[in-house]
């Protein structure tokens, strides 16, 4: 078994375990036979056909391969044999497949199960992510094969690709990128430049081989540097004699570099950075070395784009776009852990449910923009009440939850009173008009009013309902009295 076969089998086993599939299969294109062949699989069935092949348009797998689109069937009611990789019917109830986003070949990843509705939209996203990883492996292998024909150490290239794919964080990836095997490119130092998406500037982010190179925010000069040229022109640059041309910016320290090869990192037709190599001797980078650098740049660019996408996904999953603060899902994922920590230690936790009284009026007067401004206004007013360890999140509309750790019932009541006063004393400005605000607060405490997270939320919501039924500017503490902060 080759390294690629082991990697594919390890990954397909992971797919099967994560998705809880009955079978997980990978089909790749055989251009010579003009069909798709089962390349690797993991299954609980003894009736998988190891040498299965599927033509364009044949069955569900053929449809995915032909149309290059995902497919999910949660009520599979056909004979399993139509899938093309079973030798007998297995009573399959669900099927899901995703095409490989490969740039060098065609293929598809499929999973099936014996329970109806066992695959969700989240499962489809997970499968698409695994398809991307298979594409990395397959593209890397095909790319390595091309490089091998030009006397390149394929094993070194494969190990380098594997190191990129194994990185979970951006910091790990940036370190791994500059560790290019010297058998691929004859360099003495390597550097990586990336565009800062938020600031709109390009910076030197990693190096290897430059010794004690300082990394104090080296910005790239677009006009006078090697890196700037490659970024601006979106084309590779090979200088057998670097002379005095700067690599990054005017006035940079000497790097003992006599020759350089630099290639752009392109994603979606746009440059996101530069991967560069220098040598202490002149004339060290021939056209083939530049071509190999370009080959390396493809998976490097893909890996950088992948990590950046994952970072954005994590931020979206954790932050609220309306306020910029944490979202309700973040509170839901943290509250069980907080209560489990607090219970055995005798610590108290309070949950405040805060809702303004004026939303409908503001919406009728100012349209959708009014409640949006109200939401941001309340968020800024409430932020100071969240101490270290406390969690403030928007629930829906302009309604907020504030979780107070290590607090007493009396302190929770005092905080609620101060919140209502802050809302009363800080009107909302909409255009030239100032609108006086009022709100109601429901509060519940752990462990006095609730023994778990669900009960704590329910108690706070009931307290809020009770407060609202009593009028405006009301605070109700579960198990206590309703009070008016202005009374």
Domains annotated for the chain, with CATH where assigned, are 3-143 (3.30.450.40), 164-314 (3.30.450.40), 328-484 (3.30.70.270)
b/e burial code for range 405-444 (CB count within 10 A of at least 16 → b): bebebeebbebbeebbebbbeeebebeeeebebbbbbbbb
Neighbours of 268 (CB within 10 A): 7
The whole-number pLDDT of residue 486 equals 35
SS3 364: helix
The whole-number pLDDT of residue 96 equals 94
Mean pLDDT in consecutive groups of 10 residues from the start of the chain, 487 residues = 85 94 93 86 94 86 88 87 89 93 90 87 92 91 64 75 86 90 88 84 89 68 89 93 88 84 93 94 87 91 88 74 88 91 91 92 87 94 91 93 92 94 93 90 93 93 92 79 40
Q: Which two tokens stand for residue 380?
A: 């800024």
Q: Which two tokens stand for residue 126?
A: 């997970």
- Beta carbons of 12 and 6 less than 8 angstroms apart: no
pTM score of the predicted model = 0.44
Q: How far apart are CA 318 and CA 407, in angstroms?
A: 25
Q: How far apart are CA 307 and CA 164, in angstroms?
A: 10
The whole-number pLDDT of residue 401 equals 97
């Amino acid at each position: 078994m080759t390294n690629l076969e082991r990697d594919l089998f390890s990954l397909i086993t992971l797919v099967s375990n994560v998705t809880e599939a009955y079978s997980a299969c990978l089909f790749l294109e055989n251009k010579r036979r003009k069909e798709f062949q089962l390349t690797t699989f993991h299954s609980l069935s003894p009736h998988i056909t190891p040498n299965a092949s599927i033509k364009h348009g044949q069955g569900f797998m053929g449809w995915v391969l032909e149309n290059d689109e995902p497919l999910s069937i949660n009520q599979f009611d056909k004979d399993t044999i139509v899938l093309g990789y079973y030798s007998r019917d297995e009573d399959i109830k669900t099927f899901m497949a995703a095409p490989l986003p490969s740039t060098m070949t065609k293929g598809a990843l499929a999973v099936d199960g014996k329970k109806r509705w066992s695959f969700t939209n989240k499962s489809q996203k997970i499968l698409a992510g695994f398809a991307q990883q298979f594409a990395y492996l397959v593209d890397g292998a095909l790319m390595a094969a091309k490089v091998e024909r030009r006397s390149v150490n394929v094993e070194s290239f494969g190990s380098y690709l594997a190191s990129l794919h194994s990185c979970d964080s951006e910091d790990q990836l940036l370190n791994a990128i500059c560790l290019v095997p010297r058998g691929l490119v004859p360099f003495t130092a390597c550097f990586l430049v990336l565009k800062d998406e938020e600031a709109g500037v390009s910076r030197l982010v990693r190096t290897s081989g430059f010794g004690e190179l300082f990394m104090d925010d080296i910005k790239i000069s677009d006009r006078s540097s090697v890196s700037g040229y490659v970024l601006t022109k979106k084309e590779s640059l090979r200088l057998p004699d670097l002379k005095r041309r700067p690599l990054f910016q005017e006035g940079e320290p000497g790097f003992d570099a006599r020759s350089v090869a630099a290639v752009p990192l392109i994603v979606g037709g746009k440059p996101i950075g530069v991967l560069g190599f220098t040598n202490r001797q002149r004339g060290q980078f021939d056209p083939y070395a530049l071509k190999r650098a370009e080959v390396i740049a493809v998976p490097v660019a893909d890996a950088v784009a992948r990590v950046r996408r994952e970072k954005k996904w994590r931020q979206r999953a954790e932050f609220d776009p309306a306020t910029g603060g944490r979202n309700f899902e973040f509170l839901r994922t943290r509250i069980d852990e907080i209560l489990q920590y607090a219970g055995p230690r005798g610590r108290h936790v309070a949950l405040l449910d805060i809702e303004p009284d004026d939303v409908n009026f503001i919406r009728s007067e100012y349209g959708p923009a009014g409640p949006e401004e109200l939401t941001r206004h309340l968020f800024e007013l409430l932020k100071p009440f969240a101490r270290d360890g406390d969690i403030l999140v928007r629930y829906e509309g302009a309604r907020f939850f504030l979780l107070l750790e290590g607090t007493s019932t009396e302190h929770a009541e005092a905080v609620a009173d101060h919140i209502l006063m802050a809302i009363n004393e800080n009107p909302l400005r909409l255009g030239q008009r100032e609108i006086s605000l009022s709100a109601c607060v429901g509060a519940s405490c752990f462990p006095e009013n609730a023994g778990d997270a669900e009960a704590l939320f329910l108690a706070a919501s009931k307290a809020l309902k009770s407060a609202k039924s009593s009028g405006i500017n009301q605070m109700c503490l579960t198990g206590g009295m309703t009070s008016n902060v202005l009374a």
